Structure 1
Amino acid sequence: MEWDIAKKDFKRYLLLERNLSNHSIDAYLNDVQKLEAYCSFKKTALAQVDARFIQQFLVFINDFSISAFTQARLLSGLRTFFAFLQIEYDRKDNPTELVESPRLNRKIPTVLNIEEIDALIAAIDLSTLEGMRNKTILEVLYGCGLRVSELVTLKVSNLYLDVEFVKVEGKGSKERLIPIGHHAIKYLKIYLEEVRPHVPVQMGHEDVVFLNRRGKQLTRVMVFLIIKDLAKKIGLTKPISPHTFRHSFASHLVEGGADLRAVQDMLGHESITTTEIYTHIDKDYLQSVITQYHPRS
């Protein structure tokens, strides 16, 4: 079995059958190319790769001080590759199945409380067109739990405000409908009716919701800088980004009793385990329980 043919067919499989984005496909192929380079170094054919060889490869990779998270992601990519070879080339085994992934400490995401979100929004200068746009951006980020990539590519034609839904294109070009609250709807309508008409829209950006002052689609970096500037204004020391609003959206829903499956659908997570990270219990609540019920408190 030739590496070049296997990689070419694997790429086609990821694109056509898995419907992955170009970024994700490149990540998978990069994982495979790392193994290919190691096989070349060890003069080992692809067909000869077994579990012991994969373990040796991971030890070799570890010597380059690659994080446990990156190693786990690399192993996951190779697991997908060999599963593909089993399907398409009748390979008898998947040598990655018996190899344990590195243990990962699951990091609890940074979450803003409602007072902090209100303070950030209150710090926006609403006397300018950009200020009204920025307020709408934060209301939509928090009101819908969008990824920043979904926010900047949001289309006017995908806003169904009369039925309180927006349609976004998420990872792997997968579309989903997300409910949008009255507060976000209110400011979206103000922005679309009173602010956006004053922006000189550039050709090709007519259907983009959020535009910069030159009439082009906002960049992810610009949204990041807007939020960083607001955090600095109010003296917020938490490390925040546009994704922090997504974390806050999900965490507040779960803490309020929302069904985890519903939150999963709104966030566009493929696996429920990704959404389960938001089931962490608020530390202040735990402290209040101890204070109220423990006999020594």
Structure 2
Amino acid sequence: MTSWESYIKEYKSYLKLERGLSENTIANYAFDVEKLVTHLENTKQEVSPLKIDEQALQGFIYAISGVVNARSQTRIISGLKSFFKFLIFEGYRETTPLELIEIPKVGRKLPDTLSTEEIDTLIGAIDLSKNEGERNRAMLETLYSCGLRVSELVTLKLSDLFFEEGFIKVTGKGNKQRFVPIGTATQNYIVLYKDSVRNHQAIKKGFEDTLFLNRRGSGLTRAMVFTIIKDLAVKINLQKTISPHTFRHSFATHLLENGADLRAIQMMLGHESITTTEVYMHLDRKHLSKVLNAYHPRNH
């Protein structure tokens, strides 16, 4: 199976250099192909990635269907499709053996969201008498008003703030950068945190440009932000399981419910595909009825 190893190695280089994917994502893609290789070895099928056919792939998918759920099957098949598209792109194959293989239908899990009242109550529970209170309020306001991932929040820099233009520069997955609008109120919370807390603390070397700092003057971890939010949820007795990502879900949902364009939301969230953004279209029936009544010509 050494031929597989060389093609997988080339594939990983392609994902890194051409697609700009993170090491973790690349490892996941490669792991999907390695599962297929392991199956071929176990079933003593000596076939190269250039000669493998639909029948062999069907056998693999049948084998994994007995040990993984439909969602995992979907992810593995998607990973394999990506690999064979790469082989076609590089001229190694003319067709993909997965052309006629269907991906199992999986019901998408709708993300949890918070109402604006719940977000206000959560942020309102922050103890502003402590130094970290101003920081935590600025962080949560930024999470919600800009729809950031927690990794994007903790790596946000002072040099990423373009308040005069009303934007922040965000570095997302695969080091892809985007500019996201930031409201005046959130800008004010960040300025207040900087002026009253950050500018008065000792900052460790290497974190001079990091916006949100811990008490020791270095960057916050994603786990610390998660803990801050969990503690606030307990404090207000919130009966929902939430995380930093809940603020991102709420950002997208509230924009959509108030009439924002899905394409604009996609750009602000930094989603590569519009289908990723469409998961937020879980509006209630009442809201959809209002939209239909307001905009469909037969209802005028």
Q: Please report the TM-score for the alignment, with normalisation by the length of structure 2.
A: 0.92
Equivalent pairs, count: 288
Could you list the runs of 5+ residues in structure 1 that have no partner in the other structure? 290-297
Note if 1:114 corresponds to 2:80: no
Counterpart mapping for 1:246-265 below 5 A: 246-265=248-267
Paired position in structure 2 for 1:139: 141
Paired position in structure 2 for 1:163: 165
Q: Please report the TM-score for the alignment, with normalisation by the length of structure 1.
A: 0.93
Q: Percent identity?
A: 53
**For residues 80 and 286 of structure 1, do their structure 2 counterparts lie closer, same or farther at Cα, with a shift above 3 Å needed?**
closer
Paired position in structure 2 for 1:57: 60
Structure 1 residue 208, shift from structure 2 partner: 0.9
Distance across 2 between alignment mates of 1:216 and 1:33: 39
**For residues 288 and 85 of structure 1, do their structure 2 counterparts lie closer, same or farther at Cα, with a shift above 3 Å needed?**
closer
8 Å contact kept, 2:253–2:280: yes
Counterpart of 2:252 in structure 1: which amino acid?
A
Note if 1:13 corresponds to 2:26: no
Structure 1 residue 26, shift from structure 2 partner: 0.8
Distance across 1 between alignment mates of 2:288 and 2:80: 41
Structure 1 residue 11, shift from structure 2 partner: 1.0
Paired position in structure 2 for 1:96: 98
Paired position in structure 2 for 1:293: none
Counterpart of 1:59 in structure 2: which amino acid?
Y
Name the SS of the counterpart of 1:162 in structure 2. Answer: coil
Note if 1:219 corresponds to 2:221: yes
Distance across 1 between alignment mates of 2:5 and 2:109: 38
Distance across 2 between alignment mates of 1:242 and 1:97: 38
RMSD: 1.7
Paired position in structure 2 for 1:186: 188
Paired position in structure 1 for 2:44: 43
8 Å contact kept, 2:257–2:287: no
Distance across 1 between alignment mates of 2:226 and 2:286: 29
Name the SS of the counterpart of 1:43 in structure 2. Answer: coil
**For residues 259 and 285 of structure 1, do their structure 2 counterparts lie closer, same or farther at Cα, with a shift above 3 Å needed?**
closer
Counterpart of 1:98 in structure 2: which amino acid?
L
Structure 1 residue 115, shift from structure 2 partner: 0.4
Which residue, 67, 74, 77 being the options, matches 2:76?
Answer: 74
Paired position in structure 2 for 1:240: 242
Deviations 1:245-273 (A, max 9, x none): 00110111111111111111000111111
Structure 1 residue 48, shift from structure 2 partner: 3.6
Name the SS of the counterpart of 2:197 in structure 1. Answer: helix
Counterpart of 1:49 in structure 2: which amino acid?
I
Could you list the runs of 5+ residues in structure 2 that have no partner in the other structure? 292-300
Which stretch has the larger CA shift, 256-265 or 1-10?
1-10
